[in-house]
């Protein structure tokens, strides 16, 4: 066999499609009983599209990636807005000028707004760790407020650490936004595939040159192939010889309600209350009509082999040094290529996983 791809998530499926279109035969395997990796979704008995591994919203500025995915599915024009329960009210996240007026008395919000506009360019996105470096008393108060009410406890639940103890790029994903734009993402292209991610990936893999084998772990096969593309965790490939790469995992507790809607938005964050980080209500994404609704409460925990799934690589000096040891070994293999969120140990969004697969030289 010419090409073996381990993992049928976005990274593996993109590569399979590109290879197949070049006329090459591909076998793609996945240890799960379904394709689409963490982006997997399905319609439940109520006709609601459930994202099994947490809410997935497609967003990208990359026109090539957008055109690529649009070959396999049409998308709606859903633009994600998130609110968080702050001081008991639903307030916009990322924190922006609208949030300012939601959480503070009007005159106080006006005074702070004026200072913000004098200090920062309108429309600027400022990571919270940078935003905390303020001299002005009002702005310092604001920065401490945002840090405490939005980031501190959410990050403790999500990562088991304070925001200053994790890679700054993580909290910078949700900056303080000097704008009145309530959207979670500002990318040019955004949406949800009309028939779901699983169908989209199925269409990607629907090619006479592609064979799929599910419930098949790379560790337990003995096929011979010229090239291997591995989208599982790189430490697992090398039998953990230098040690385990740490990940955070997530546990979703699903609940069904006999009413049309549970909450106002698809995703509500709970930075300060409860042990879960957020609640997802799935019917918002495709405007599914049902008298019932399904939600999931998201609880974060450490990944442990055999207990749960790998979701989030944890970027810090120690873990990246360990990853680099595996990477050095990977470079010595001529016919094995690593990619994807687990293969590269990088906090990719879906578009980045696709972009990464597109970047692999296929000659």
Cβ 191 to ligand FAD, closest distance in Å? 11
Buried b (16+ CB within 10 A) or exposed e, 139-175: beebbebbbebbbbbbbbbbbeeebeebbeebbeebb
Residue 8 binds to ligand FAD (criterion: CB under 6 A): yes
Residue 43 binds to ligand FAD (criterion: CB under 6 A): no
Task: Identify the residue among 311, 323, 326, 338 touching ligand FAD (CB under 6 A).
Answer: 311
Residue 180 tokens read as: 């009145």
On the question of a cis peptide bond just before residue 94, with omega within 30 degrees of 0, the verdict is yes
Which listed option, ligand UDP, ligand FAD, none, makes contact with residue 279 (CB within 5 to 8 Å by class)?
Answer: none
Nearer to ligand UDP, 3 or 277 (CB): 277
Interacting residues of 313 by C-beta distance below 8 A, sequence separation 6+? 245, 247, 319, 341, 342, 345, 346, 347
Binding site for ligand UDP (CB under 6 A): 84, 93, 150-151, 154-155, 158, 170-171, 173-174, 269, 271
Residues 131 and 110: their CA atoms lie apart, in Å, by: 19
Residue 22 binds to ligand FAD (criterion: CB under 6 A): no
Residue 6 binds to ligand FAD (criterion: CB under 6 A): yes
Question: Which residue, 231, 245, 232, is CA-closest to 315?
Answer: 245
Residue 155 binds to ligand FAD (criterion: CB under 6 A): no
Nearer to ligand FAD, 270 or 348 (CB): 348
Cβ 172 to ligand UDP, closest distance in Å? 8
How far CA 68 is from CA of 10, 18, 19, 354, in Å, comes to: 12, 10, 14, 9
How many residues lie near ligand FAD (CB under 6 A)?
A: 35
Question: Which residue, 114, 228, 129, 224, is CA-closest to 173?
Answer: 129
Residue 37 binds to ligand FAD (criterion: CB under 6 A): yes
Nearer to ligand UDP, 242 or 312 (CB): 312
Binding site for ligand FAD (CB under 6 A): 6-12, 29-32, 37-39, 53-58, 217-219, 231-232, 250, 311, 340-342, 348-351, 353
């Amino acid at each position: 066999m010419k090409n073996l791809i381990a993992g049928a998530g976005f990274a593996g499926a993109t590569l399979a499609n590109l290879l197949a279109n070049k006329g090459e035969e591909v076998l793609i395997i996945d240890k799960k009983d379904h394709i689409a990796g963490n982006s997997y979704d399905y319609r439940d008995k109520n006709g609601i599209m459930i994202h099994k591994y947490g809410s997935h919203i497609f967003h990208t500025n990359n026109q090539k990636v957008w055109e690529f995915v649009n070959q396999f599915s049409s998308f709606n024009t859903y633009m994600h807005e998130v609110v968080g329960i702050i001081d008991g009210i639903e307030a916009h996240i990322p924190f922006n000028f609208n949030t300012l007026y939601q959480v503070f008395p009007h005159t106080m919000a006006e005074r702070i707004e004026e200072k913000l506009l004098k200090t920062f360019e309108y429309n600027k996105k400022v990571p919270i760790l940078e935003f905390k470096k303020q001299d002005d008393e009002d702005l310092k108060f604001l920065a401490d407020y945002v840090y405490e009410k939005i980031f501190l406890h959410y990050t403790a639940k999500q990562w088991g650490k304070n925001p200053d103890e994790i890679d700054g790029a993580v909290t910078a994903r949700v900056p303080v936004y000097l704008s009145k734009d309530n959207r979670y993402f500002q990318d040019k292209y955004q949406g949800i595939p009309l028939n779901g991610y699983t169908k989209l990936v199925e269409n990607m893999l629907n090619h006479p040159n592609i064979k799929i084998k599910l419930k098949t772990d790379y560790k337990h096969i003995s096929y011979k192939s010229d090239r291997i593309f591995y989208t599982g965790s790189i430490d697992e490939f090398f039998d953990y010889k230098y040690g385990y790469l740490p990940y955070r995992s997530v546990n979703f507790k699903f609940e069904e309600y006999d009413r049309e809607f549970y909450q106002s938005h698809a995703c509500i964050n709970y930075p300060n209350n409860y042990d879960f980080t957020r609640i997802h209500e799935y019917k918002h994404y495709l405007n599914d009509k049902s008298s019932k609704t399904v939600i999931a409460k998201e609880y974060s925990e450490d990944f442990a082999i055999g207990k749960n799934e790998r979701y989030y690589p944890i970027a810090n000096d120690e873990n990246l040094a360990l990853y680099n040891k595996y990477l050095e070994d990977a470079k010595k293999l001529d016919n094995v290529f690593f990619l994807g969120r687990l293969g590269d140990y990088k906090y990719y969004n879906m578009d980045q996983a696709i972009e990464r697969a597109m970047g692999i030289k296929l000659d």
